[in-house]
Every structure is written in structure tokens, then in C-alpha cells.
Amino acid sequence: MKTIRIMFCMFAVCMLWSCGDDGKTPAYKNAKLSIEKRVDDLLGRMTLEEKVGQLCSRYDNFTPADVENKARLDSFFTLIPGMLQPDVMGLEENIAVRNGIQKYMLEHTRLGIPMLFVDEALHGPAKAEATSFPQAVAMGCTWNPELVEKVFTATAAELRSRGTHFVLSPVVDVMREPRWGRSEECYGEDPYMNGKMGAAAVRGLQGSADGTIAEGHVGATLKHFVGHGQKEGGRNKAPANISEHLLRDIHLEPFRIAIRESKPRGVMPSYNEVDGMPMHMNRHLLKDVLRDEFGFDGMMASDYTGVKELSAYHQVCDSLDEAALLAFDAGVEFDLPVGECFEHLVKLVGDGKVKEKDIDRVVRKILTLKFELGLFDNPFVTLAEARTIARDSTHWQLAREVAQQSIVLLKNNDNLLPLDTKKYRRIAVIGPNAADTRLGEYSGIPYYKVSVLDGLRKRFPECQFSYAEGCKITNTHSTDSRKTWFTVTTDDMLPTKEENMPRIAEAARVARGADAVVMVVGENEMVCREAFVPPFRGDNTTLDLISQQNELFEAVKQTGKPVIVCLMHGRPLSINVIAEKADAILDLWYAGQETGNAVADIIAGDVNPSGKLTVTYPKSVGMLPVWYNRKPTSGLFNYVNEDFGWIFPFGYGLSYTTFEYSNLQLSSKTMDKKGGIRLSCEVKNTGQVDGYEVVQFYIHDLQASITRPVKELKGFKKVFVKAGETANVVFDITSSTLEFWTANNKYEVEPGDFALMIGRSSEDICLSDTIRVER
């Protein structure tokens, strides 16, 4: 009954708001008129201060009581912003706060412009009572864009139902520096892969591929433009020392692909500088490249405090108003999170440094978006609908399916997996991440999460389980990944060896009493994360397992029991000892709320693992950079003390079955620059188990005017093949497949020979042929 009364009051507010004082409806409130006419009318009524407000954002920890307090809101909204991120976690509180703010906007502001609410959605809503899907790097390892699109369709539904309209996702940064704490936000190290996954995420979020936002969906933001994944020393916000050709080949390419294939409504500049020019003032890249060349016509919102940092960190100016001028002139249109720099645009217009018509152009964008979303007609949401969508079991089933397809089988000696529980009846589950599921950065708080220990107990009721923590990764982490992520780094954060050795001894004792061991090691959100500000460290000088986890593995392995290692982490690690000595290895990454169930599904053989790595696993941090698409001269010489190489290559992943590749066919051996060729091959499941195989298509330009990588991923297909059956896989080769940024400073296809390769991974090429591109 209370809900009915609330909704009736909101309806009344909408009806009263739609009429002016004289009873006549202003054009912008008339839902029968076109959006263009409504925007024209509203823009013509706005003062300069109201226009500038739409270019600013606000961020606050509102409570339901706050939004019922008009004095509190009056003091907060001295400037009426265009967008807001209320940091409220709980679903019911979230709905109350957002509806309360919308009610205030309609009743107590001059023009009644509704608020645009913004949130994060890296791998599901970063809110409480929301589905937590596998982390972005794990989703990359599915090699399944269609599945990723489903993830973000579900994410959009959950967010829109609770009043979110625009999200600061997806991330299409290319992971080229694994010391960087934000590596897990990337889909992988390859630009083509990241572009395809980013495009799928945008289509899921927006519900279309043409830039329109479908009902029940939200606007998407590609980030971080550009070079964010390859920063000096792997340190967050550090310079990106990247040449023009590397920028074009690697870091710009995912944006070019995603913009072409999905038309996101937003792009966010990155914190870093490129060639001495901070991205938030980089007119060449933001305007000449992103807008004029790539055709992006959406909204460009700053990264949080990115405009302010032009003065505070980059030291290219000495005031907030000058920072605002530099950023706005370069193409940044919205100042997040609190608008402290763009507030000065009013003064800058008055001083003649910014033209009001340029302000109008940007205001038109956000007003158009608000009209498209229907916010002027009804900006309110209902708790009942939001709760129904948040508890949609199909979303939880999807989270489990994504986890199943993202987990990578790295090793399986003597076919230990699937595990024969008649032989291995007593199972020890050991490790700092065994009894809790880490979710990674930008996570919400799901209704539940399943640990590896709990997942195994549930799946194998016939077995006897024992548990030992083994060691601690950090002393002060919480079981809540979000709280751990926001925990300040302290000198005593890491346990000492003396503190962990008794735990290791106990783990070895538990292992001796078992028939087999499942060990869950890796990282948590304190040792690898975004370094927000100096008290929150997140980047690393090592790729080794933190704390005494290697000692734990060695102690357990010495018991002589078979050890299945599960890695729970967010970046490639140098796991040399584990790779050599473990009997089986499952790379889970951060696999979301269904982690334990998905692991149990694979260990039981209910699911055939099909994940493939989207990153290269280096032998050591001293060998960096190590990536598959290296240049011809990068691997000519080995080190004095060790051969150059990797533990596991890009594209690698095992299965419970085997696949045979054959019958490579080309529709032609030659093509002109604007033509095309069709490549096909056959993949036969030669084992006894049905399964997915990821068929990977690479090219190599055999002689070019500038150096080209030894391999470039240009296509992939994830196909399901039943045991004994054969699938036909087709790739279309066009000019976009073969073009690159040439010495002529443009994208071109050069004539000459190209090697075409089909493989199980970047290092396991099964079929190859050569084509010639004619002049």
C-alpha cells in the first residue's frame, strides 16, 4: 500500500510538472513533439549557469533521509549538475535516493531538468544486490563475444531498473604491462580481441549496434582513451611512452573497431600523457583522431579528476579555470566526478575564452540523451521491478556459464581431470582463496557467492573434505571484495614468513590425510588494484605469487599427493614452479559469484573447459615486455642467464577432448586492395567428449614498408563440436583485415605476400597458406 501511495505521488508530480504556471505546456514538456524541437525549446530557456551545470557532475554518499531533507539538497545543489553518481549500495536505499533526487529536480529547480545517473559496470553492476559476473580479463578468455553481449544485456537491465542511465564501461585498454594493478580490467593483450569484446559489451549495454539506447538499456562509455594499458613502469597514471605507429597498431585499434561496430554513446580519456601531452588536453587524439577520423560523435566525459590533474599532477597549468579551458578546448565535454573545473566555464565565457555556442553544442547532447531515455516524461523507478530483475535467476545461470567458459585448463598431467572421486575420495582444499571468492576491482556485492570449497562440497557429497588456509596473502583484507579494494596500504599489510609458516605446516598435515589436493592461490584486491591515490597502492614490481604461496605449494607437493592448482587473480603471473610441478592447473581469474560452482562443474567433468588465454604468461618480470605479437627482432637473442620465452602463450588452453585441423581452403590466392578472399577449414573432434574449440586466425605481412608483427590475430570462432563430428569454420579476409598505419600516415593495404595461419594458440599453428595482394 505504501508503494502504491509513493507511486501515485510521483505520478502527480509528473502531471503537475508538465504544465506551466499559466496552464500551457512548454514545448520541451510536450511528449508529442520531436526530441529535436523539445531540445531547441529547452536550450533557448536556459541561462548560461544552467547550461554549464549540465556539463558538470556530482558525487555523494546520499541516504534516503538526505533526499527528504530539502535544506540538505538545496545546499548540495548550489549548481544543478547534468549527471550524478550517488554512492549508495543497497537496492532499496538506491531506489529511494534516486527517486528522491528526481523529485527534487522536478519540483524545486527552475526548469525541472531530470538527473542523469551514472554508475560503473566493469563486470556487472558495481552495486549491492546485483549479479557479479567474471572479471573483464576472464570474460576475454571465453573468446565468446555473443556471451559477453548477454552479460552486458543483463547488466543493463539490472542497472536501468534501479535508475542508472549511463555507465562508465567497458574498458578496451590493451594489457601490455602486467605490473599494472588495473590489468584485470582489460580483456587481454590483443587489440583485435579487445575491440571485438568491447563492441559486444556496448551492444549489450545499449541494446543496439547503431548508437540508439533500447528500452531497459543504458548508455555505454569506452575507456580509457588512449595508451592506458602500457604505462611507464606499470604505474597507474604514469606516462605512456608510445610511438605513433605503436599507438595506431595496438592502442587505438580497439577503439576504432568498437566505435565502428557498436557506436558507443560515450568515450572517456585516460589519465596518462602520450608523447608529453596529457590525454585530457590532447586535441589531436581527442578531436582529429577520435572524432574526425574514427567518426565518434557521442559524449566525452573526463575520468575522475582528470581535468583537475592537468594542474595538480601534470603541471601544464596552475589553476582550475585554465585546466577547464585546456580540456574543453581539446574536446572533453563533461567534468567528473564533481565538476570543480568546468564550473569555471561561466567565467571563461564571460572572459571571451570560450564561446557559448560551444557550450550549447555539448548541452544539446546531454539533453538529447535525457529525452531519448524518457526522463522528461517519467524519471522514476520502482523497487518491485528492480528487485525482480536483480533476483532474476537467469542472470545467475548466465554468470555460471560465463565462468565455465572463461576458466582455462593450463595443465592436466595423466588426465587427472576430470577427477575420479572413486579413486580420490578424501579431498583436501587448501589455500588463501579456497574458502572465499575474490571478485576483483569495480565489483558489486552479489546476493551470494560460491567459494571453491563450497562448490566442491556441494558437487561431491560422496567425498570427505578437509580444509586449511595454508597462508595469508594479506593480513587485513575483508571477505567483501569492495571493502578490500578500498583498504589503505599499510606497512604491516603483508604477513611475515614467521606468521605464515605454522599455517603452511598445518596445510601439509591436512594434505597428508587426503587422497588429492585442490589448492587455490593467487591474489586479492589489496595486492593488485587501481592505485587511486598514494595511500592505496596497486601496482607491483613482481609477477610472482605474493606472500609465502610458493612455499605453501612446495610443502603440499612434497606430501606426494596429486595437486590441482586453481589460480584466482587478475593478471598474468610468473608461476614457474607451479607450472612445472603441479599435476593440473585451472586458471580461474576472478570468476564472479559462481566461481565455486563453475570449478566443481569442470573438476567433475560436467563441463569441458574451453577457455583460452588472452595474455602471455611471462617467465619473469625481467623479461617484460612479453607478448605474442612481437616484432621480428624482439626475440633474436636470449639472456645470459636464461632463454627468452614464456610459460603459457597467448591463445593457449587445454580441453578434455582433442581436435584435428584440416582442409584449409582459399577462394583465391590473390586479391586486389579492395577485394576479398574467403578462408575455410575443418575442425574435427577426435576425442570422446563434446566440446568447444576456439579456432584462431592470424596473419603475417611477410614484407612491408615498415616492420610488422610476426603474428596478428585477425579473427576467431568458438565452435561447439560433438565427439566424432566435424565443423566447417569460415573467415572472410577484406582490406580491413590486412591494412595498417603505413609510413604514409594513413591506413593502407600494401601489395605483397601475406601468411595466413590457423591455430589452437599463437604458438600452435595447425594450418597455413600464403596469399598475394596485387597492386
Distance CA 762, CA 759 (A): 7
**Grid cell of 169 as nine digits:** 564501461
Q: Which residues of 146-159 are buried (b: 16+ CB within 10 A; e: fewer)?
A: ebbbbbbbbbbbbb
Assess contact for 239 and 232: CB atoms under 8 A: yes
State the Rg of the chain over Cα. Answer: 27
Do residues 406 and 147 touch, judged by C-beta distance below 8 A? no
Residue among 599, 608, 607 at smallest CA distance from 434: 599
Catalytic choice (66, 190, 303, 436): 303
Describe the strand order of the beta sheet including 464-468 as a list of residue ranges: 408-412, 584-587, 563-568, 516-522, 426-430, 464-468
DSSP label at residue 301: B
Cell numbers standing for residue 148 = 559477453
Sign of CA pseudo-dihedral 354, 355, 361, 365:
positive
CA distances from 56 to 84, 221, 301, 708 (A): 9, 17, 9, 43
Question: For residues 389 and 641, what is the distance between their CA atoms, to the nearest angstrom?
Answer: 57
Q: Which residue has the cell 527517486?
A: 99
Q: Give the pairing of strands 659-666 and 166-167.
A: unpaired
- Cβ–Cβ < 8 Å for 441, 585: no
Phi, psi of 133 (to 5 degrees): -85, 170
Phi and psi, residue 444, nearest 5°: -90, -165
Sequence letter at residue 210:
D
Q: Percent helix, strand, coil in the chain (nearest 5)?
A: 35, 20, 45
The CA distance from 595 to 404, in Å, is 8
Q: What is the C-alpha to C-alpha distance for residues 371 and 26, in angstroms, rounded to an integer?
A: 14
- The C-alpha atoms of residue 587 and residue 578 are separated, in whole angstroms, by 12
257 closest CA partner among 713, 755, 717:
713
DSSP 82: S
User: 303 catalytic, yes or no?
Assistant: yes
Alpha-carbon distance of 126 to 446, in angstroms, equals 9
Residue 612, all three cell numbers: 583460452
Rounded Cα distance between 93 and 66, Å, is 11
**Amino acid letter, residue 94:** N
Nearest to 91 by CA among 442, 390, 457, 518: 390
Distances (CA, A) of 521 to 347, 544, 609: 55, 12, 19
Q: Determine which helix (DSSP H) or strand (DSSP E) holds 676, and give its type and residue range.
A: none
**553 half-sphere exposure, CB direction, 13 A CA radius:** 25
Strands (E), 83-201: 83-86, 116-119, 166-167
Is 54 in contact with 82 (CB distance < 8 Å)? Answer: yes
Q: How far, in Å, CA of 334 to CA of 304, rounded?
A: 10
Q: How far apart are CA 411 and CA 398, in angstroms?
A: 26
The count of other CB atoms within 10 Å of the CB of residue 352 is 7
Place of cell 601544464: 316
Q: Which residues are catalytically annotated?
A: 303
